[in-house]
Amino acid sequence: MNKPYIIGIAGGSGSGKTFFLKCFLEHFTAEEVSLVSQDDYYIPVAHNMTKEENKLYNFDLPATIDDRHFHDDIGKLLNKEPVIKHEYTFNNPDAIPKVLEIKPAPILIVEGLFILHFKEIAGMLDMKIFIEADDEIALQRRLKRDLLERGYSHDDVMYKWENHVVPAYKEFLLPYKYECDKIITNNTHVADDIIAVTEEISADLRKKLF
């Protein structure tokens, strides 16, 4: 194909985007699909903050994302140019960021919380997928991730959930739900359910693109 087929995958925190993507990517080779994530386009702020300020920092606002850089890198991949950048370490000064090389491919996946809110990016998408989960299930997933992987306390996680995560989801993501081509409810802890959905989507894409 002359132009990569762009799939946008949006979902709130704890919706299961990461697991969905893992299952989806298993249906393709590294040469067939590439992934660019909004999470790697946060504007760095760690050097300006204490650890306590870092804990209270609201990542769940569009203004925290360098959407111009995000948009430009998607454009490079559409022009079949590779993108090289550092991953974002969520303001953890002790983490050493990996260097990411994103190579162009026939299928480009763009994922993140605000990809539908950023109009220029939304306008580039050929297919939009919305992943959702019930609030309690999403919260439990968020707790598991932030307590284990990011070192937050239970109180920190709950503060962010109530004051940052839920309001941002309602304002910047939920309004775009019914503009999406597919809405996937991911409440299950059974992998077979998501695997079945990704098999169906990937089979349709293979017929269309390859």
Please report the beta strands in 31-178, taking only residues with DSSP state E, as ranges in sequence order: 33-37, 83-86, 99-102, 107-111, 127-132
- Which H helix or E strand runs over 192? helix 191-209
- Tell me, what amino acid is at 180? C
* pLDDT, tens digit (0-9, with 9 covering 90-100), for 166-210: 999 999 999 999 999 999 999 987 778 788 889 999 999 988 888
Which tens digit of pLDDT belongs to each residue from 96-135?
888 999 999 999 999 999 999 999 999 999 999 999 999 9
What is the full DSSP assignment across 143-167? HHHHHHHS---HHHHHHHIIIIIHH
Look at residue 1 and tell me whether its pLDDT is greater than 60.
no
Question: Looking at the 3D structure of the chain, how many domains does it have?
Answer: 1
Q: For residue 174, what are its two tokens?
A: 């939920």
Quick one: pLDDT at residue 192?
81
146: containing domain:
5-209
Measured in Å, how far apart are the chain's first and last C-alpha atoms? 9
**What CATH code is carried by the domain that includes residue 65?**
3.40.50.300
Distance CA 19, CA 15 (A): 9
Is the pLDDT at 93 greater than 70? The verdict is: no
- The pLDDT of residue 37: 95
